[in-house]
Structure 1
């Protein structure tokens, strides 16, 4: 509500007015209360005109608060008629789960980022509305751009743009991809301190349902083992699993070369210079380690024991020199009791290569050793069955392929061609058993506590979880857009969707998994009741209560008037 004045020839009157939308959809207002004339109020309040206006605004605030309380608590009577048919082609069901995503979207100030982008481009469509809907539908209704436009039409706030505007905006989003990432990183710090002292990096690939290579879509080693062209994504996340930055590169490119260009962007555009780089052995090349040994950066990377120099490999495989991690006591791991099976043991030594002085840490886990032994036993049983049945398939380059234990031998009979005899190679089995339970890490943190280093390394599971969310929950692949600029925009929306859902999960206090949160948001629908307001159609529980508490608005009343829903939509956009 607001204060309005009306001037006549002899006086000036003050009123409190309320704006509303009439039955025809037009905005209008009506007088709620007359406060009096200026002369009357000046005498009564013993003040000047400015004092009267200040008092009137305070009265308007009180009336607004009272109106909202009444709206929330009043009983609404809506007549229904058993002999009246539904209005033809009138939508009754609306999706409202996006409101909670919208709260995070505007907290990241992506609307302001879109306004900055608009100053550099000549377009008339609403980029902010398009980008936000692309993100919301990627989370709640992942599908093609055309289907996303249709899905957004079911939201409480349907699109005011056209489908062709979406495709035009993809080129702009692609061009501004680096700028959007850097701005979002800076703005995310306003929502709480980020654990960017640790950065995890990994790569994954996404396939296209096409048969010929085209641009960045190249044939490469697909993690889904599909014979389709792929594109690869390199992703940095922070220590809490929040996405930081990503890049795309051709499917046939060595992933080890992808790290340095993206990290240079983080150093230059993000202004972030001090962190620990953490990755698996596939991305921990000597060059990558050397690059992260510069400046204020450090590294913790997984090391393949099999690829160590012979002297270091021999030391790593020895069962002596281990200490218990919990109390640093020396332990003989060849003679552990049942109570010791839950402990972790380690040993470390200096490790020098051509370029770096490092620290090599070897850990031993009895639980991990038992798991590997059980797994290998099942693989040996399969290998024996393959030999007995005579069905020997060509070995794939897979460390878990049972055929790796099978060897062949040519047996020559007199006067006959050589036959092939297959058998289990016991030497290979024994060689593999040497590595059971062992794990290696290299780092340039020479003086840090081993427990702290291992804790950082253990956090790498979070980046695998990020890729799983994008591929499974957000249906990021297969990719259906063909132009490279649109492909970049597609992955930008997937990246932003991942950041928003994880930020919302963090704001909730990690009381649920991403899967549980997504499932709940997808159920939060509303029914339009005779154009008078909305009725929630979801089940209220602890998670919905936490969502409302976190976002600062509630949609779980038995009935929500249209005016109240507009206030909720406004609040979710950080417009209080």
Structure 2
């Protein structure tokens, strides 16, 4: 949102976000279709253009909600002003890729093929429209005359392969911006891990200090998981997911047999991910049958507390 972008700028931070070409103003679309300013990259094997880039400098106008103290208390006619408009100088990095163009075309053809099959069976179109909340609507639909909108298909094809990324850091190159934006999936994945695996949300504490502590613990846990993934990758082991690493920590059990103090401890449910991490971290090797003293020296867990 505009308020988030303004907040980042006020804090001295940079942002890199995608820019939707299809919903951009017509004046900007003309800059895209204008062949001037594009830099071409030719595939040495085929001799054809494989990549194009273009940088456009613009001023981004964002709407920022007014704080209550900034709102005018003076009565005026009409609606009270709720937003202020702020301007942020940005660069829009336009790119076109032959590989992306082929993918966009393939994705669209796949959707059109599904539609063509439904057009051959009009009753499927009616069933699709009446799903979800629409099932409670009384509709008389005649789908026999429906056909594909060729003009919209042709318009969509014009955008095949094009992508735009906007940033307020005016010193970044197109390659740098593309690399930064290409790492977005890592951030999104981290949020999914925080929410699903580490259960950061919902929060079951109420005061501010406990909430801060909860998220601090979740973030530290995320850092440990990421570091474990890094170590496994550096050691050329499997690309373990966060869930698999957590299972490697949670699942191991110990079977204690015999009478105290001559018990024998047998580790069970120890998967390969645990063994790999233990080897990387140079932890003591777990044996099949261990004395309580040996088990405590390896794991720092004192089983005698529950056996005495």
Bin the TM-score by the shorter chain.
0.5 to 0.7
Higher relative contact order (CA 8 A, sep 6+): 1
Matches of residues 111-122 of structure 1 in structure 2 within 5 Å?
none
The residue matched to 2:147 in structure 1 has which SS?
strand
Give the one of 110, 120, 123 matched to 1:388: 120
The residue matched to 1:423 in structure 2 has which SS?
coil
Equivalent position of 1:296 in the other structure? 12
Equivalent position of 1:361 in the other structure? 93
The residue matched to 2:286 in structure 1 has which SS?
coil
d(CA) in 2 for partners of 1:544 and 1:430?
54
Q: How far has the Cα of 1:459 moved from its partner?
A: 0.7
Give the one of 240, 252, 255 matched to 1:524: 252
| Higher deviation after alignment, 495-504 or 293-302 | 495-504
The residue matched to 1:364 in structure 2 has which SS?
strand
Equivalent position of 1:134 in the other structure? none
RMSD value over aligned CA atoms? Answer: 4.0
The residue matched to 1:346 in structure 2 has which SS?
strand
Larger gyration radius, structure 1 or structure 2: 1
Q: Does structure 2 retain, via aligned residues, the 8 Å contact 1:317–1:434?
A: no
- 5+ residue gaps in structure 2? 62-86, 132-140, 303-308
d(CA) in 2 for partners of 1:525 and 1:550?
21
d(CA) in 2 for partners of 1:527 and 1:342?
65
- 5+ residue gaps in structure 1? 1-284, 324-329, 397-409, 411-417
d(CA) in 1 for partners of 2:33 and 2:246?
45
Equivalent position of 2:227 in the other structure? 503
d(CA) in 2 for partners of 1:538 and 1:319?
62
- 1:516-540 CA-partner distances (Å, limit 9, x unpaired): 4345445533322325232233567
Equivalent position of 2:168 in the other structure? 444
Give the one of 293, 300, 306 matched to 1:563: 293
Equivalent position of 2:277 in the other structure? 547
The residue matched to 2:10 in structure 1 has which SS?
coil
- 1:368-413 CA-partner distances (Å, limit 9, x unpaired): 21111111111111111222211323399xxxxxxxxxxxxx9xxx
Is the alpha carbon distance of 1:290 and 1:571 closer, same or farther for their aligned partners in structure 2, counting shifts above 3 Å? same
d(CA) in 1 for partners of 2:105 and 2:301?
56
d(CA) in 1 for partners of 2:252 and 2:183?
33
d(CA) in 2 for partners of 1:544 and 1:561?
21
**How high is the TM-score relative to the length of structure 2?**
0.66
Give the one of 16, 25, 28 matched to 1:309: 25
Equivalent position of 1:513 in the other structure? 240
